[in-house]
Amino acid sequence: MLSNLGNLFITLTLLSSFLLIYYSAVGLKKNGSLIPEKIFRISKTQCLFTILSFFILLVAYIFSDFSLINVYENSHTTKPLLYKISGVWGNHEGSLLLWIVILVIFSLLFLNLNKLADKKFRLFTLIFQNILISGFLIFLITNSNPFSKLYPVPNEGMGLNPILQDPALAIHPPLLYLGFVGSSIYFSAALASLITKYNGSNFAKTIKFWVLTSWFFQTIGILAGSIWAYYELGWGGYWFWDPVENSSLMPWFLMTALIHSILILEKKNDIYLWVIILSILTFTMSVTGTFLVRSGILNSVHTFANDPSRGLYILIFLSIMIFSSLYIFYKYAPSKKSNFQFLSKEFFILINNWFMIFFLIVVLIGTLYPIVLEVISEQKISVGPPYYVIVMAPFLIPFLYFVSRGPQAQWFSAQSNNKKKNFLVLFFSVVIILVFFYFTKVKDVLINLILIFSIYLILQTILDFFRNIKKNYFNLSRIISHLAFGFLIFFISINSIFSTEYDLNLKNGEKIKLDNYEIELKDLNILNEKNYKKIVGNVIIRDQKKDTFEFLEPEIRVYNMPETVTYEASIKSNLFFDTYVTMSNLSGSEFYNLKFQRKPFMILIWLSIIFIGVGGFLRLLPMRQKK
């Protein structure tokens, strides 16, 4: 029953996409500035069918309908309700359906919220968006159908991967998809803009909301995934350059560049083609990340599938999308040349755009190089944090400087009235870091410079706030985001300097002294939970220097559906540092491996990212920040 309903709604959604493409093409030939009401009705109906299909799958998970292969493979009756719900998108088929739902919702919202935009521009955007929707629907129906039947119907399911049974993972994919898939609408709008010559300030204002929306959700989605990996995977840090982590970061670089480029396009049409390129690249990179995750060519705990046929379809779809975009770009792109004043505000924005592109290329190479090398030479390697730190960290220094200087510059002018103040702020930043390193006795030139310019950005942003508060309004969105970014780089740098890590093997009841710490595995407790058993270690960590104690309880969990062993970190957090312990059993012995870490400013790193997102969210609000 549910299978038939789900397939019916998916088929009707695909039919609606075909109708929208057809009637939009017909509407282009008709005179007048109004879009036919029929197109609005079909778009609403399409959205309804898509949401109903997703609701059918959700009901199947909640009531454990194992007549669906998808539910059987990713759920079981004893799983808590939250993880039954999150199980809907915790697999390839369900997540693809969620991807399509978001594509359709963005299509409907764009059509209804941009009624002042040019008719032909809106219709072409709708056509391109529904070509994307149709492509993914055909992929869903032919290769990844979540409503495929199973007979005979089993009494119990196989269960969801235990590491995905976590509150952060319940919200991480939907947030990330709103970012990934949200970029589709300005991809479609960019192609429509080229064909209809709907450019300049009008185009910038039309896509600005959608770029900011997708960027905000991408930022918060990346944060949720990063926090999950920190406490669930036992990695003990904020970012590990895992290939699938990288696939979410690469579109974010482009979105960030695009947000700043739109600010110029609102005032000057010279940057129009650059905005088009960024709009096309952002969604292209999102689909590239999807291909990497779902093709099985990446080895990661995040990957959904290991089916070459799925990867081949996405690769063909991606290739068609790229070549079609290139054809439209070269056929319709205007030939007007850009002209920018050296050291003007737009100059600094473009310089920072190029830094974002550089960071993107570094991450893309680090992600793809092991894959290419394995294909060519059958040699397996992994590219880890050292590569990214060595290549990217030195470029953070000029990047921070340009981010600091941009807001001080004027639009279309090289004049600056703050040269003396800029020098004083930089001098003060240097003094702060010199004093800091004198007392901490840590000597590292690169870290010194990064910290100097992160403080320089923080101080310049604060001064920017006080300078502009005297005016009628100030850009609170930019001030919060830039200030938070400065603090993020500062706290990450301090974290990298002062983090400590110990790896030791202890028997039950044993203790050991390491530097200023005494670590004791006091005892072990075995407990039964609803869908797993766990071994809980009672670990006591004594800081002999401060004469303080911390009690932590790392866990080894043994799930039976499916049979999986996971290792749960125990974390004691405060504003200044985290104490982090994971425990695992050494096979065939009575020893337990404990990994003990002290991580400074982890909470402040997370908070900095939240405030970066808050700054972007404020720009979505239809208001000016008054004095």
Other CB atoms within 10 Å distance of the CB of residue 416: 14
CA dihedral 198, 199, 201, 202 (to 10 degrees): 20
SS3 585: strand
The tokens describing 54, both together, are 């997703």
Whether residue 512 is predicted with pLDDT greater than 50 in this model: the reply is: yes
The tokens describing 568, both together, are 């749960």
The pLDDT of 594-611, averaged and rounded, is 93
Amino acid, res. 69: I
Query: Phi, psi at residue 605, to the nearest 5°?
Result: -65, -45
Whether residue 306 is predicted with pLDDT greater than 90 in this model: the reply is: no
In this structure, are residues 502 and 514 in contact, taking their beta carbons and an 8 Å threshold? yes
Mean pLDDT of the chain: 87
Amino acid, res. 39: I
pTM strictly above 0.85? yes
Domain boundaries, the chain: 1-165, 184-416, 418-498+604-620, 502-602
In this structure, are residues 287 and 184 in contact, taking their beta carbons and an 8 Å threshold? no
The pLDDT of 460-465, averaged and rounded, is 88
Convert the pLDDT of each residue in 368-423 to its tens digit: 888 888 778 878 777 888 899 899 999 999 999 999 988 888 877 766 656 666 67
- Contacts for 200 with CB less than 8 Å, ≥ 6 apart: 265, 269, 272
Q: Biggest alpha carbon distance in the chain?
A: 84
Other CB atoms within 10 Å distance of the CB of residue 377: 9
Q: E strand or H helix at 534, and its extent?
A: strand 532-543
Q: E strand or H helix at 566, and its extent?
A: strand 563-568
Whether residue 82 is predicted with pLDDT greater than 90 in this model: the reply is: no
Amino acid, res. 494: I
Convert the pLDDT of each residue in 152-195 to its tens digit: 888 888 877 777 777 877 888 899 999 999 999 999 999 999 99
What's the per-residue H, E or C state across 231-271? Answer: HHCCCCCCCCCCHHHHHHHHHHHHHHHHHHHHHHHCCCHHH
% of the chain exceeding 90 in pLDDT: 48
Whether residue 627 is predicted with pLDDT greater than 50 in this model: the reply is: no
Q: How many whole angstroms separate alpha carbon 525 and alpha carbon 503?
A: 22
Q: How many whole angstroms separate alpha carbon 29 and alpha carbon 18?
A: 18
In this structure, are residues 387 and 330 in contact, taking their beta carbons and an 8 Å threshold? no
Whether residue 491 is predicted with pLDDT greater than 60 in this model: the reply is: yes
Convert the pLDDT of each residue in 25-50 to its tens digit: 999 988 888 899 999 999 999 999 99
The tokens describing 488, both together, are 């993020």
